[in-house]
Amino acid sequence: MVVEVNHLDNRGSGRAATWRKNELGNEKKLKLTIPRTLPGEKVKVTVDQPERKRRKAVADEIIESSLERVEAPCPHFDKCGGCVWQHWSYDGQLHYKTDHVKQLLEEQGFDPTLVKETIGMEEPWRYRNKMEFTFSEEGDLGLHEQGNWRKIIPLETCLIAGEGMVEATMAVSQWVKDHQLPGYIKDMHEGLLRHLMVRQSFATGEIMLAIVATESPDGRLQTAVDDLVERIGRFPNVKSLLWLENTDWADRAQAEKIHLLAGRDYIYDEMAGYRFRLWFDTFFQTNPAQAEKLVELALELSQPRYSEKMIDLFCGVGTFSLPFASKVKKLAGIEIVESSIESAKRNAQDNGLLNTTFLAKDARKGIDQMLESFGKPDLLMLDPPRSGAGGKVMRRIGRAVPNRIVYVSCNPESFAEDIKELEPFGYTLKVVQPVDLFPHTVHVEIVAILEK
């Protein structure tokens, strides 16, 4: 059948609708999800089980293509799930993200004209400083197929990862093939290699490689591991080579035991003029160039003063805390992950910042505890996870009555819902600035300022 794509879903795939007659001759609506298509395109698709209400289909032919359609440069784009929009011009992506943020805010009753145009990248490739690759059952290293978490697409390159990261990743991949090491079979909970986490500081050039496996690296694997250490030794930028044991059923890049194979167990990175230590499980912005833009915007919009006290909610390792601490009288950071708080303390110390306090607590209880010891903040900042801060936390923020609130969000939908909670407390949304940290994907970050 031939259909017209009328919008995109929240995963970036085209959506279309058509009418089909069922076996009784009645007209029934069929909603289609068609990956790698763009709004306004007319496409020919083949649909299995068209009697269903919803189906996923692949475009057999683009009959009328969008003027914004481009040729995808990556050879793996047709199958790999790492990117969804390489077939869309970058300007088209940015305009869509701006409109998407406006729509979500308007649905919550906010003025969409407060949203500025999305700030993009001059060069929207090779921007990621961290990747997590997965081993297939056969030991091939790659990413999941789009929409199919059971299938791994073996990769020869990755155009969104730094070149040094890709080179080191390919060296690990070749090592696995040469030693014929098996991958992990999820359904049967057996096998050896699960993931490879690779991260690189674009500022210092330092690289960390962390292999997640179900066994210890010694014993029967000792000869192969010795060879790995020798091969990786040819990459002078690799300052940390780790082997992480994970025997859990959960398919995450976590560790029950950490084995340091070479170098140190962390690397150094820099952002906005401050130095950070990054361990394998440290959360750090994965697009350093645009992350610095986030910090600049947060400072510019909130205008911190040396006479003010500030609370930084969901502070992580201090990505925003450190630049703000140098601009205010006192800063208190709150984060539920204890290892991140320890890192934040160490990072503040490394950078000579003596006016900081960090608390390992969930946001809701942390605010209450910090208000007792720290007092009312003049400025409050939050950078919550994708799920948002939630109504209870937002109402506590409102009752803390900071003069200004700067909200950094990676999810415009939860952001719009969260700031709605602040209206009864007399806060007004002043400006919303989207920033594109993840070109060729659906994600967009936001920096916003609200005033009492």
pLDDT for 290 beyond 70: yes
pLDDT digits (tens, 9 = 90+) for 6-63: 999 999 999 999 988 777 778 889 999 999 999 999 999 999 887 888 999 989 999 9
Q: What is the pLDDT of residue 151?
A: 87
DSSP state of 368: H
Question: Which two tokens mark 350?
Answer: 């490394």
- Categorize the per-residue pLDDT at 145 as very low, low, confident or very high, splitting at 50, 70 and 90: confident
CA 433 to CA 115: how far, in whole Å? 6
Average per-residue pLDDT in the chain? 94
Question: Which two tokens mark 381?
Answer: 């900042």
Pick the CATH number of 98-121+285-451 from 3.40.630.30, 2.60.40.2300, 3.40.50.150, 1.10.357.10: 3.40.50.150
Q: What is the pLDDT of residue 356?
A: 97
Phi and psi at 300, nearest 5°, equal -65, -45
Grouping H, G, I as helix, E, B as strand and the rest as coil, residue 17 is strand
Cβ-contact 292, 271 below 8 angstroms: yes
Identity of residue 247: T
For the annotated catalytic residues, the residue numbers are: 410
Strand-pair category, 184-185 with 148-154: unpaired
Report the topology of domain 2-69: OB fold (Dihydrolipoamide Acetyltransferase, E2P) (2.40.50)
DSSP state of 416: H
pLDDT for 379 beyond 90: yes
Share above pLDDT 90 across residues of the chain, in percent, rounded to a whole number: 87
CA 377 to CA 308: how far, in whole Å? 8
By C-alpha distance, which of 338, 339, 333 is closest to 318? 333
Q: What angle do CA 67, 71, 76 make, to 5 degrees?
A: 140
CA 378 to CA 96: how far, in whole Å? 35
Instruction: Please give the C-alpha separations between residue 120 and each of 164, 289, 330, in angstroms, as whole numbers.
Output: 23, 11, 33
Q: Which CATH code for domain 130-271? A: 2.40.50.1070
Q: What is the pLDDT of residue 165?
A: 95
Grouping H, G, I as helix, E, B as strand and the rest as coil, residue 428 is strand
Question: Which two tokens mark 425?
Answer: 């407390």
pLDDT digits (tens, 9 = 90+) for 215-233: 999 989 999 999 999 999 9
Q: What is the pLDDT of residue 249?
A: 74
* Nearby residues of 174 by Cβ (< 8 Å), 6 or more positions away: none
- Count other C-beta atoms under 10 Å from residue 360's C-beta: 17
Q: What is the pLDDT of residue 252?
A: 67
pLDDT digits (tens, 9 = 90+) for 69-81: 999 999 999 888 8
Cβ-contact 318, 341 below 8 angstroms: no
pLDDT digits (tens, 9 = 90+) for 76-117: 998 888 899 999 999 999 999 999 999 999 999 999 999 999
**Maximum C-alpha span of the chain:** 76
Residues of the chain with CATH 2.40.50.140: 2-69
CA 260 to CA 423: how far, in whole Å? 50
- 158, burial (CB in 10 Å: exposed 0-12, middle 13-18, buried 19+): buried
- Count other C-beta atoms under 10 Å from residue 322's C-beta: 27
Question: Which two tokens mark 61?
Answer: 């032919």
pLDDT for 406 beyond 90: yes
CA 354 to CA 272: how far, in whole Å? 18
Region 398-410: what's the mean pLDDT? 97
Identity of residue 303: Q
Residues of the chain with CATH 3.40.50.150: 98-121+285-451
Phi and psi at 316, nearest 5°, equal 60, -135
pLDDT digits (tens, 9 = 90+) for 420-429: 999 999 999 9
Listing DSSP states for 269-292 in one string gives EEETTEEEEE-TT----S-HHHHH
CA 312 to CA 353: how far, in whole Å? 15
Grouping H, G, I as helix, E, B as strand and the rest as coil, residue 409 is strand
pLDDT digits (tens, 9 = 90+) for 154-173: 999 999 999 999 999 999 99
- Categorize the per-residue pLDDT at 253 as very low, low, confident or very high, splitting at 50, 70 and 90: low
* Ordered alpha helix ranges (H), 80-234: 90-107, 163-179, 222-232
Residues of the chain with CATH 2.40.50.1070: 130-271
Q: What is the pLDDT of residue 213?
A: 95
